[in-house]
Amino acid sequence: MEYAPGFSSIAALLADAGRASMVWALMDGSARPAGELALLAGLSPSSASAHLAKLVEGGLLAQQRHGRNRYYRLAGPEVGQLVEALASAALAAQPRQARAIPASRGTPQPMREARTCYDHLAGELAVGVFARMCAANWLSEEGGALTLTASGEQGLQALGIDLQLVGRQRRQRLCACPDWSERRPHLGGALGAALLNLCEGEGWLRRSKDSRALQVSPQGRRAIMAIAAP
């Protein structure tokens, strides 16, 4: 039977804890030297060098030279998307527990604060917006289904979101999307995408070139934290 070529080799590369740690450290779009990645992954310099060579050969990392130093970064945005998808799948596969799961402290800070999740907003700011929307009764959950209340419609329209346009899209209107770094939900679906578009249109958020991390302006941070605030 035919299968996707290279799928198993990529899985094998990321199955090693040391290599996975080094890839994870580069999720913010940065380029880091081998020595720094070795320290972050808890590896010896020689072991880290061997693992990095495999990651470059496997197409997950790219190598850059700056003088005598070699720096490593993700080979492309597709690699970041792959790692994020695996992180989300790992979170979804965990058994449901009564106690809250702590946030991932190993996530690079720019990725933790704000990033894209497909076409909507994720990270600390997004999780905060979702929690405030629920507390302010903008969102209601019944039987596992999330709905937008009349108060929520008024609040979002006041922000400048066109709910008629959101409703015309052939996709799920809204959902609670699990956030792999914060371990709590953020707003997904067409409404989540509209919220991200609003933040970008207002200049509160700006996309990064080589990462899903979003640059947050001081004004944008204040504005986003004010959404659905009491």
Q: Are residues 130 and 209 in the same domain?
A: yes
Cα separation values, 226 from 1, 112, 123, 174, Å: 54, 19, 16, 21
pLDDT of residue 101: 46
pLDDT of residue 13: 92
Mean pLDDT (whole number) for 63-85: 84
- How many whole angstroms separate alpha carbon 181 and alpha carbon 99? 17
Residue 185 in contact with residue 127, Cβ under 8 Å? yes
Q: Give a yes or no: residue 100 inside a domain.
A: no
Q: Give a yes or no: residue 29 inside a domain.
A: yes
Q: Give a yes or no: residue 15 inside a domain.
A: yes
Q: Give a yes or no: residue 200 inside a domain.
A: yes
Q: Are residues 164 and 210 in the same domain?
A: yes
Q: Are residues 118 and 198 in the same domain?
A: yes
Q: Give a yes or no: residue 184 inside a domain.
A: yes
Q: Which domain holds residue 215?
A: 108-226
Q: Give a yes or no: residue 22 inside a domain.
A: yes
Q: Are residues 201 and 154 in the same domain?
A: yes
Q: Are residues 115 and 55 in the same domain?
A: no
Q: Give a yes or no: residue 144 inside a domain.
A: yes
Give the CATH number of the domain where residue 44 resides: 1.10.10.10
CA nearest 6: which of 78, 77, 90?
A: 78
How many domains is the chain built from?
Answer: 2
**What are 175's two structure tokens?**
């959902």
Q: Are residues 207 and 142 in the same domain?
A: yes
pLDDT in tens, 114-144: 998 878 999 999 999 999 999 999 999 887 7
Q: Are residues 116 and 217 in the same domain?
A: yes
Q: Are residues 52 and 135 in the same domain?
A: no
pLDDT in tens, 13-72: 999 999 998 998 887 777 888 988 998 888 999 999 999 999 999 999 999 887 778 899
Q: Give a yes or no: residue 149 inside a domain.
A: yes
Residue 101 in contact with residue 94, Cβ under 8 Å? yes
Q: Is 204 buried (19+), middle (13-18) or exposed (0-12) by CB count in 10 A?
A: buried
Q: Are residues 218 and 132 in the same domain?
A: yes
Q: Are residues 112 and 72 in the same domain?
A: no
